[in-house]
Structure 1
Amino acid sequence: MTNQLTLSGKVALVTGASRGIGRAIARGYAAAGAAVGCAARDEAGLASLVAEIEAAGGRAVALPTDVTDEKAVNRMVTGAVDAFGGLDILVANAGVNLSRADVADSDTATWEETIAVNLFGVYYCIKAAIPHLKARGAGKIITVGSGLGHNGIPGLSAYACSKAALWMLTQVVAQELAGEAI
């Protein structure tokens, strides 16, 4: 089967790209012809991903980033834009599910970190990407949610709440940017 989708000339930025879903997304965009900014905290994972994409004939750049640091996120977006001349697609995939504990037994620091990565990290990415997407005249912002954002289960309160808030952020941003072809 051949790939019918072509993204030649497009630039995608994928967070959480060093492993799992993010890595698969980055590979897929590269296979479809997009240049890919690959972002994550795991520098070794990013290096191996970029090498894999380049070995297959694609273009990619490693952008080591902690999405909970807004300044680092701004540098990440600028790094992708500088490397490839713009930005067309943001995939805000970075996310964590750090523990399973009922609220009464939960660790506040773990709760805060989960919200920081899964909500604020996505917010920072979207905010930094918007001007570059607008400059291209159109674009895509893709956020990675979870069914737990709609139906929480005991022991996963931080994760479920972060994904519920992400769902609402995604809806609001879609409405705000609807007239911009984003």
Structure 2
Amino acid sequence: MERTLDGKVALVTGASRGIGYEVAAGLGREGATVVCVARDPERLDEAVFKLRTDGIDAVAAPCDLGQPGLVARLPEKIAELGEVDVLVNGAAILGGRTSKTLRTTYAEWRSVSAVTLDAPFLLIQAFAPAMMARRSGRIVNISADEGRMTGPGNTGGVAPYRVAKAGLNALTRNFAYETGLGRRGVFVDAVAPGRSRTDMGGADAPRSAAEGAETVLWLCTRPAAQPDGTPAPTGLLWQDREALAW
């Protein structure tokens, strides 16, 4: 039986654990060759080995996403696999949980932004042009409730993380409009997965990592057109397959 992503290449950052791993597994089950990106080579190799054991065509591409030069060389490292059809930006750094605006350092601010916001920008620049040329592609940025200015996003600590996630939401919307809101075949969306049982979310979180990944996988595989022939809605922040105000 033909699967949704047979013959496609998907790149997932943060794929060595948590929601990123579940996204990689889900895309692989849909037939994609999954390029798994994470900073820790040993942990990444363990994750890729597990994926392959489960029958998924997975490839490890270790990369420190906090280093722009290394991110820029990532397309060259995986060029032999073909063009990337699906890009999921899942890697993020939380920073200090009590890091308020006046209590964080510039070094922490930059390290969080480098992975959480700058790396998605660089990867979009790297892979989106070919998607646009083919008039086909999916980009999903994994955001967070903390990046929602209409929700819990403007209270508490983790200021660098909250602002970076809000920036990721803005990048998503802006690029979706630049690509014609799906009319050019490229769909750009963000997902607030909800607090999930990951290293970042903690063991007492209400959702499993697989539940956190579900809407991401839906956006990567849903039909490009609605029943009336218009493009599927895009440029939005989603949770549980519903668009959120942010």
Say whether 1:180 aligns with 2:184.
yes
Matches within 5 A, 1:16-27: 16-27=14-25
Higher mean alpha-carbon deviation, 104-113 vs 140-149, is at 104-113
Any stretches of 5+ residues in structure 1 without a counterpart?
none
Please state how far the C-alpha of 1:24 moved relative to its aligned partner: 0.9
The answer for the alignment partner of 1:165 in structure 2 is 167
The answer to whether residue 48 in structure 2 is matched with residue 46 in structure 1 is: no
For 1:53 and 1:36, the matched residues in 2 are separated by: 10
Q: CA RMSD in A?
A: 1.9
2:179 alignment partner, SS class = helix
Q: Which residue identity is paired with 2:167?
A: A
Q: Matched residue of 2:78: which SS?
A: helix
Which residue, out of 26, 29, 32, partners 1:31?
29
Secondary structure at 2:113 match in 1: helix
The Cα offsets for residues 6-45 of structure 1, whole Å up to 9 and x where unpaired, read as 3111110000111111111111111111100000101112
| Structure 1: distance between partners of 2:102 and 2:52 | 48
Q: Higher mean Cα deviation, 7-16 or 131-140? A: 131-140
2:68 to 70, 75, 78: 70
Deviations 1:96-121 (A, max 9, x none): 10102232222221112111111111
In 1, the alpha carbon distance for the partners of 2:177 and 2:101 equals 33
Following the alignment from structure 1 to structure 2, what is the Cα–Cα distance between the partners of residues 153 and 41? 30
Q: Give me the whole-angstrom Cα distance separating, in 1, the residues matched to 2:132 and 2:17.
A: 29
- Contact 2:25 2:56 survives alignment (8 Å): no
Q: Does the 8 Å contact 2:13/2:91 carry over to 1?
A: yes
Aligned to 2:12: 14
Report the Cα distance in structure 1 between the residues aligned to 2:167 and 2:2, rounded to whole angstroms. Answer: 34
Read off the aligned partner of 1:124 and give its amino acid letter.
Answer: L
Unmatched tracts of structure 2, length 5 or more? 187-246
Query: Is it true that 1:155 corresponds to 2:149 in the alignment?
Result: no
SS at match of 1:73: helix
Structure 1 stretches of 4+ with a deviation exceeding 3 A read none
Cα distance change of structure 1 residues 4 and 86 upon mapping to structure 2, 3 Å threshold: closer
State the aligned residue count. 179
Percent identity between the two aligned chains: 35
Determine if contact 1:39/1:76 at 8 Å carries over to the other structure: no
- Give the stretch that moved more between structures: 85-94 or 66-75: 66-75
